[in-house]
Amino acid sequence: MADYTLRQLEYFVAVAEANSITRAAAAVHLSQSAMSTALADLEGALGVQLVVRHHAKGITLTPAGRELVVASRQLLASAADLRSAAQGLGSSLSGTLSVGCFQVVAPYVLPTLLSVASQKLPRLELRTTEVDLADLAEGVADGTFELGIGYDLVDDPRLKRWPLRTISPHVLVSGSHPLAQNASVHLSELADEPMALLDLPHSRDYFRRIFAAAGVEPNVRYRSTTVETCRALVGRGLAYTVLNFQSAVPMALDGHPVASVPIADASPALTMVLLNAVAAKPTRRATVVAELCRDLFGSEGA
C-alpha cells in the first residue's frame, strides 16, 4: 500500500497552484520547512520528482508532477465525497465544489445557481471562478474545476460536454437607432456602420462566422473584452454590436437605452454546455449540482 497521505497530496496541490512552496505554506498556515518536508516525503513515497525548486523563484512542475496534480485533485475530491457519505449527509451534501464559468455567461447564470443552491444545498459551498473559454477548458481538464459552464466553442478531447440550451445571436443598437423598432435586421443593413466587437478568444471567431454566413465584412471600430463596455458604446450611439445573451434591462450600465433586434440572416447559434473531465469520475456533489444546472438552465427549464 502506498505510504503517502491525503494531507501530503493537499499540500502538493497547494504548491502547484501557488507555484511556490513559501506562498503555499502561508496559504495553508504551515511553516515553509514543514511544507518542504511534506513535499519531499511525498516524492520519496512515490519515487518520482514532482517539482523543480528554483532558489528565490518558486517552483515548476515536472512532467510527472503535472500528471500527478490532476490525479491528486480527483482523489481529494473523491475523499471529500467519501467523508460526506460516512457522516450520513447523503440528503444534505456538504463540503466545497469548484465551478468554473465563462466570464460572458457568468452574470446570467451564477447568481441564479448560487441563490438556488444556497436554498437546496445549504451545507455545500460552491466556489465559483470566472475565466475565458481557454482557461475554463484547461481548468476542467486538469481538475481545478469539477464542473464548468460555458459555450461549446473549444474542441478538447479531455472534456465531456452536456448541452444545456442554444442561444441565437442578436444585434444590439442604441434606443434612438433607426432600426431599433424593427422586427428583424439583415447584417448587410449595418455593413457601413461602426461595430463594437466582443473581442475574446473563440468568441471573435464565432462572430466572424456570423458575418461570413451573411456575406458581410463588418466595420469593426471598437473592441472590448467585456459585454458591458460593448453595450455602453452602443448606448452612446457610437456603434452596434452582436451578442447572444439578452439583458432583461434595455439599457447600458450608464442608463442609455439600447434595443435588441433579431438577425434576419441565418446565423449560427451558440450552445451553452456543462463541462466535466473525461478522466475524472464525477463526485456526488458534482453530480447533484450538474443536475441542478440542467434544471435551471436546460432548454426545458429556460
CA-closest candidate to residue 144, choices 129, 158, 155, 157: 129
Mean pLDDT of the chain: 90
Q: What percentage of the chain carries pLDDT values higher than 90?
A: 63
CB 90: neighbour CB atoms within 10 A? 9
Among candidate residues 281, 240, 284, 273, the one with its CA nearest the CA of residue 121: 284
> What is the per-residue pLDDT for 301?
40
- Per DSSP bridges, beta strands 124-131 and 95-102 are parallel
Q: Does residue 286 surpass a pLDDT of 60?
A: yes
Reported as type and span, the H/E element at residue 107 is: helix 106-120
Percent of the chain with pLDDT over 70: 94
Average pLDDT estimate for 62-86:
79
More confident residue, 16 or 79: 16
Sign of the four-CA dihedral 75, 77, 78, 82: positive
**Contact in structure between 220 and 152 (CB atoms under 8 Å):** no
How confident is the model at residue 292, as a pLDDT? 96
Statement: residue 88 has pLDDT above 60: no
Q: What is the mean pLDDT of residues 264-281?
A: 92
What's the 3-state SS for 164-200? EEEECCEEEEECCCCCCCCCCECHHHHCCCEEEEECC
Q: Which amino acid is at 234?
A: V
Quick one: CATH architecture of 92-166+271-297? 3-Layer(aba) Sandwich (3.40)
Dump pLDDT digits (tens) for 150-204: 999 999 999 999 999 999 999 999 999 999 999 999 999 999 999 999 999 999 9
Torsion angle in degrees (nearest 10) through CA of 225, 111, 76, 22? 50
pLDDT in tens, 134-153: 999 999 998 899 999 999 99
Residue 86, pLDDT score: 57
6-69 and 92-166+271-297 in the same fold: no
Average pLDDT value for residue range 96-104: 95
Residues 6+ apart with CB under 8 A from 216: 187, 188, 190, 191
Give domain limits for the chain.
Answer: 6-69, 92-166+271-297, 169-266
pLDDT at 94 over 70: yes
How far is 243 from 70, CA to CA, in rounded Å?
A: 35
pLDDT of residue 274: 97
Residue 283, pLDDT > 60, answer yes
DSSP-assigned letter for residue 177: S
For residues 220 and 241, give the distance between their C-alpha atoms in angstroms, rounded to a whole number: 9
Contact partners, residue 192, CB within 8 Å, separation at least 6:
219
Query: Do 9 and 72 meet the contact criterion of CB atoms below 8 Å apart?
Result: yes
pLDDT for residue 140: 95
Predicted model pTM: 0.74
Query: What is d(CA 108, CA 248) in angstroms, rounded to the nearest whole number?
Result: 10
Instruction: Decide: 259 and 250 in contact? Cβ < 8 Å.
Output: yes
Q: What is the pLDDT of residue 87?
A: 55
The CATH code for residues 6-69 is: 1.10.10.10
Class of the domain covering 169-266: alpha beta
Per-residue model confidence (pLDDT) at position 36? 87
Cell 468568441: give the residue: 203
Model pLDDT for residues 199-250, shown as the tens digit of each residue:
999 999 999 999 999 999 999 999 999 999 999 999 999 999 999 999 999 9
